[in-house]
Amino acid sequence: MCRINQSCRAREVHSVILNMRLMTPWCSFLVFFFLLLVRDIASGADHNITPSEPLFQNQTLVSSGQIFELGFFTPNGSENQYVGIWYKNLRPSRIVWVANRDSPLASADRSAKLKIGSDGNLKLVDGQQNIVWSTNVSVQSNYTAAMLSDGGNFVLKDKNSIEVWASFDYPTDTILPNMKIGLNTRTGERRVLVSWKNDNDPSSGNFTTGITSETPPQVFTWNGWTSYWRGGPWDKSTFIGIPNMDSSYYSGYAVQQDPLQGTTYFSCASDNNSYLAYASISPGGILALMIWDYGSNSWLKSRASPSNSCEVYGTCGPFGVCNSMNSPICRCIKGFMPRSKEEWNRGNWTRGCIREAELSCQKNTSRTPSTQVKKDVFVHMNQMKVPDSAEYLSDIGDVGGCQSWCMNNCSCLAYSYVHAIGCFVWAKDLIDIQEFSTAGQDVYIRVAHDNTGMSTQEKLIISTSTILGIMFEGTAIFGLWKWTASKRGKMSPGNAWKDQLKQDDASELTLFSFSSLLLATNNFDATNKLGQGGFGPVYKGMLNDGKEIAVKRLSSSSGQGMEEFKNEIILISKLQHRNLVRLMGFCIEGEEKILVYEYLSNKSLDSFLFDSKRKAELNWDTRFRIIQGIASGLCICIAILTFELSIEI
């Protein structure tokens, strides 16, 4: 019904309309919809393993839409052989599941097979007929068959097509859309991702990613039993410790917690197999979200955690705060000092900080008349990743209640009122605190009054020295800026990047200088600010030629590294469409990472589509043309631009 370029397998443009309605992008700001429609839905028997048809080593089982493939594989340089699932047509392929990761077959064994045993279970048997691996469930029916779905789920079904076992219930190191991880405290089931030992050894490695059973749950990566990374508490749409996990980008994420059943599960929903993405934990402990880009035929990394040492759990120790923009990255909370000055100065912060003065509420007050005891005060810190080990007070519904609860209980060391969740208080050492440059929470920490009260003279000394310091720094920075500006030759990172981007097909982008953007936005003046997104503020600006632009200044501690930034530029520039807001260029100078968009006063496409008043302005003919345009571009529809700009502009 429509002509779409040949590489596109899409058949139904209608589904685009549906998809646009469902543009609740999954898992990342890079979500796109590849119009991949399931082919050959009626799968034949050749897609199944049945009691009479085992899977031999020279065979594979392919999902009906040719997306996933299951078979035997031997990793590079390994003497072992495994049964696993990988993407059928993608190169490099990626193994997403391994059946027998901890009980390998010898790679020399050429007569192993995967069969359905007499008890209805799947069994992997070696050349000597020893059972190496089995699904090991109780099967009521006398007939079962196993098949691989286009979502990557290997399922064993009985003769009534009731699922008796599914690989999705036994993840290895990878989570696919619609897969769940979590736990059941009643049964003790713990469904987690466990890293490979190394790139060529699928056996269970050191790192585990899962969620906790606390309320609200947190996402964690553990190294053995030690915390390695913490994504923070779930606020019903995001994990608030992941700085750029903007709720609107992640609306496919869901956490279901049932305190009665003792279950907590996390999943990424996908209504169909419209895009290819996975998240996995690497042998080195990095949790990465990858999305397949059909344009460059490669996996793009959209986020990795931890992405800097501030994101590693407890880098600054108890009562230490980490800020990746500072040098050194760790400092003590106001009113605290390093436990060991010497270690701290050596850059070993793990022992953290201790109080400079005892809390007056903890002092034995019988000796001093209470009128002389100065009450403790709370230090306010903003844009924070809330510390670990919080207690959640579900019955307190406002900031004031949270504050007074904490003030009136000496065991309460800190509190924070998180709007989408409620009142958190802390009674244990505050650990894994990070300072973000945008978003984050307000946290109030109890300290002795002595720490904040100081004499006027002291204040005076401090303020003069601060002013002098600022003046000095200002001069130095200006000098440095002049110097780097004069030095900025063809090897500046921006230019080097532009060359690289050229190869990546994004060459029509302009490389802006930071100074030109300063000029265009009147030094990022607050009056030019259009909005604030999870990634940083967006400003309106005007170029020399009078062209209006929207400038998105990515916060440096957004967790987005250079690689991710580059990927974002490539993806946006590939995916952009004339009906959406156009990316004009970018700027990379020092710590600055900036995206420059065309400024559209009309806002974005989806504000047209989903705003009931303006909907009328778009007739079906126009819509159809937009859709066709999108579809013919790359066979990838995107939500990213519509979303980004509708939120942030």
Ligand X SMILES: *[C@@H]1O[C@H](CO)[C@@H](O)[C@H](O)[C@H]1NC(C)=O
Q: Is 444 helix (H, G, I), strand (E, B) or coil?
A: strand
Contacts 24+ apart (CB under 8 A), 134-137: 135/165, 137/164, 137/165
C-beta closer to ligand X: residue 361 or 379: 361
Residue among 645, 647, 638, 648 at smallest CA distance from 30 = 638
Shortest gap between Cβ of 187 and ligand X (angstroms)?
29
Shortest gap between Cβ of 304 and ligand X (angstroms)?
19
Task: Retrieve residue 417's tokens.
Answer: 């009122």
C-beta closer to ligand X: residue 319 or 565: 319
List, in sequence order, the alpha helices (H) in 488-561: 493-503, 514-520
SS3 content of the chain, % helix, strand, coil (to 5): 20, 35, 45
C-beta closer to ligand X: residue 344 or 436: 344
Yes or no: say if 155 and 243 are a contact pair by the CB < 8 Å rule: no
Measured in Å, how far apart are the chain's first and last C-alpha atoms? 36
Q: How far apart are CA 27 and CA 244, in angstroms?
A: 11
Yes or no: say if 73 and 81 are a contact pair by the CB < 8 Å rule: yes
C-beta closer to ligand X: residue 126 or 343: 343
Q: How far apart are CA 368 and CA 392, in angstroms?
A: 35
C-beta closer to ligand X: residue 76 or 612: 76
Residue 563: half-sphere exposure toward Cβ, Cα within 13 Å = 10
- The contacts of residue 472 (CB under 8 Å, 6+ apart) are none
Shortest gap between Cβ of 76 and ligand X (angstroms)?
4
C-beta closer to ligand X: residue 94 or 529: 94
Residue among 187, 193, 157, 189 at smallest CA distance from 267 = 193
C-beta closer to ligand X: residue 411 or 602: 411
Shortest gap between Cβ of 425 and ligand X (angstroms)?
6
Shortest gap between Cβ of 240 and ligand X (angstroms)?
21
Shortest gap between Cβ of 347 and ligand X (angstroms)?
8
C-beta closer to ligand X: residue 415 or 436: 415
C-beta closer to ligand X: residue 391 or 525: 391
Shortest gap between Cβ of 392 and ligand X (angstroms)?
11
C-beta closer to ligand X: residue 395 or 545: 395
> For residues 183-214, b (16+ Cβ closer than 10 Å) or e, as one string?
bbeeeeeebbbbbbeeeebbbebbbbbbbbbe
Shortest gap between Cβ of 391 and ligand X (angstroms)?
5
C-beta closer to ligand X: residue 348 or 465: 348
Task: Retrieve residue 196's tokens.
Answer: 């490979």
DSSP output for 284-353: TS-EEEEEEETTTTEEEEEEEES-SGGGBTTTT-TTEEE-TTSSSSEEEPTTEEESSHHHHHTT--TT-E
Residue among 70, 53, 72 at smallest CA distance from 110 = 72
Shortest gap between Cβ of 622 and ligand X (angstroms)?
46
C-beta closer to ligand X: residue 91 or 613: 91
Shortest gap between Cβ of 96 and ligand X (angstroms)?
13
The residues that touch ligand X, with contacts defined as CB under 6 A, are 76, 92, 343, 348, 350-351, 391, 409, 411-412, 425, 427
Shortest gap between Cβ of 412 and ligand X (angstroms)?
5
Residue 68 carries which side chain, given as an amino acid letter?
A: F
DSSP output for 37-63: PPP--S--GGGEEBTTBPEETT-EEE-
Shortest gap between Cβ of 226 and ligand X (angstroms)?
13
C-alpha torsion sign, points 92, 94, 99, 100: positive
Alpha carbon distances (Å) from 559 to 242, 384, 443 = 8, 14, 21
